[in-house]
Amino acid sequence: MQQVGYNLERVRQSIGDACRSAGRPPENITLVAVTKTFSAEVIEQAIALGLNIIGENRVQEALDKYSRIGTRVEWHLIGHLQSNKAKKAVEIFSLIHSVDSVDLAREVGRRAGQIGKNQEVLLEVNTSGEPQKYGFDPKEVLTALKEIKDIKGIKVLGLMTVGPLSDDADKVRSSFKMLKKIFDEIKLQAISNIEMKHLSMGMSGDYRVAIEEGSTMIRVGSAIFGNRN
């Protein structure tokens, strides 16, 4: 607990530093505390430290923790969602960061509609070109949005990306720059039912760069909770 508190303090300071260097107000950055692989007890600690948005990458794992923690926090899905888990996902997640196909958007919309919900989502974009990563091809995002805008039961609120796994800071930065550019282009198009409010980019290793490049939502796990085994 003490260690987590100390880590969190460092992350908050470093968010502040990145904001100052980018000339942005720190209130513009939403911190999603990524607790995948960590227990519900760890989420209790996070709550005690003032964290109120929890990011999980697997639906079943999140459900198990949700049954202990409930709605004291907001739950975000940050990992790939399989269509057959959409029904469960819409029951607990307030924001799904990882919609990566039009078909998935339809299924999420259909399942959300069944429970009278308008599910807020982000579209995941594969900005690194790494084949093992999920997400729309950057060139496809706009076309996809023009189909997705008419789907009932979902509301697109922005974009998400996972930066390249690389020590090359320029590569990481250009990935974030690309997403920001797409975000701004979509905003300019003012597509009905599509809002560009959240730009979800930046993890423990690269959130400072992401903030400098315009991120509004960072997903931080190991820098707060320690290494996952």
Ligand X SMILES: *Cc1c(COP(=O)(O)O)cnc(C)c1O
Chain residues in the site for ligand X (CB under 6 A): 34, 36, 57, 78-79, 162, 203-205, 219-223
Cβ proximity to ligand X: between 115 and 169 the closer is 169
Of the candidates 154, 148, 162, the one whose C-alpha atom is nearest the C-alpha of residue 78 is: 162
Cβ proximity to ligand X: between 124 and 212 the closer is 124
162 Cβ contact partners less than 8 Å away, ≥ 6 residues apart:
124, 128, 133, 135, 203
DSSP bridge pairs for 54: 33, 75
DSSP classification of residue 125: B
Residue with tokens 């990563």: 133
48 Cβ contact partners less than 8 Å away, ≥ 6 residues apart:
1
Rounded to the nearest whole angstrom, what is the least distance from the CB of residue 116 to ligand X in the complex? 28
Rounded to the nearest whole angstrom, what is the least distance from the CB of residue 85 to ligand X in the complex? 16
Cβ proximity to ligand X: between 78 and 151 the closer is 78
- CA 116 to chain centroid, in Å, comes to 23
Both tokens of residue 108? 């999420």
Q: Which amino acid does the sequence have at 134?
A: Y
Cβ proximity to ligand X: between 109 and 135 the closer is 135
Both tokens of residue 114? 């069944």
- CA 188 to chain centroid, in Å, comes to 22
Rounded to the nearest whole angstrom, what is the least distance from the CB of residue 226 to ligand X in the complex? 9
Rounded to the nearest whole angstrom, what is the least distance from the CB of residue 41 to ligand X in the complex? 18
Cβ proximity to ligand X: between 94 and 191 the closer is 94
Q: Degrees (nearest 5) of the Cα angle 74, 61, 11?
A: 50
Cβ proximity to ligand X: between 38 and 183 the closer is 38
Cβ proximity to ligand X: between 14 and 204 the closer is 204
Asked if residue 157 lies in contact with residue 198, where contact means CB atoms within 8 angstroms, the answer is yes
Rounded to the nearest whole angstrom, what is the least distance from the CB of residue 32 to ligand X in the complex? 8
Rounded to the nearest whole angstrom, what is the least distance from the CB of residue 189 to ligand X in the complex? 26
Both tokens of residue 20? 């100052």
Rounded to the nearest whole angstrom, what is the least distance from the CB of residue 206 to ligand X in the complex? 8
